[in-house]
Amino acid sequence: MTKSPQEESSSDKASATDMAGVTLPGKVEKIIAPAHPAEPEKAQINVEGAEDLYREIRIDNVLQNDKGETVRLKQGAEVEVTVEAESAATTKKEGSGPSSSSRA
């Protein structure tokens, strides 16, 4: 079961060193009203550095601030999109390492 950020314990955060990841800048392009009132609105985010076809993602526009209050993103907001995986879920890229940058 996946934990929400507010459910993470301090021991989960301590094991963050066993994670591989990347953080990319993004910008909220638009806020999309729900098709049905019972559904949450969506935030469409343009992820800089992603391939053109996959640049936009949509998420529920429901976040939680450091005080535990429910908040939402504003259109035009600058955000960071982070992808993390446990080390066991990754493989070393061939040719990566200190000497790979010195090749001509």
- Tally of structural domains, the chain: 1
Q: Round to whole Å and give the CA distance between 81 and 41.
A: 19
pLDDT in tens, 33-92: 999 999 999 999 999 999 999 999 999 999 999 999 999 999 999 999 999 999 999 999
Q: How many CA atoms does the CB half-sphere of 1 hold within 13 Å?
A: 4
Which range of residues forms the domain containing residue 66? 21-85
Checking if the pLDDT of 14 tops 70, the result is: no
Answer yes or no: is 80 within a domain: yes
Checking if the pLDDT of 32 tops 80, the result is: yes
Answer yes or no: is 29 within a domain: yes
Q: How many CA atoms does the CB half-sphere of 93 hold within 13 Å?
A: 6
Answer yes or no: is 38 within a domain: yes
Q: Is the pTM of this model over 0.85?
A: no
Q: Round to whole Å and give the CA distance between 59 and 71.
A: 14
Nearest to 71 by CA among 5, 3, 2, 19: 5
Answer yes or no: is 11 within a domain: no
Answer yes or no: is 15 within a domain: no
Answer yes or no: is 97 within a domain: no
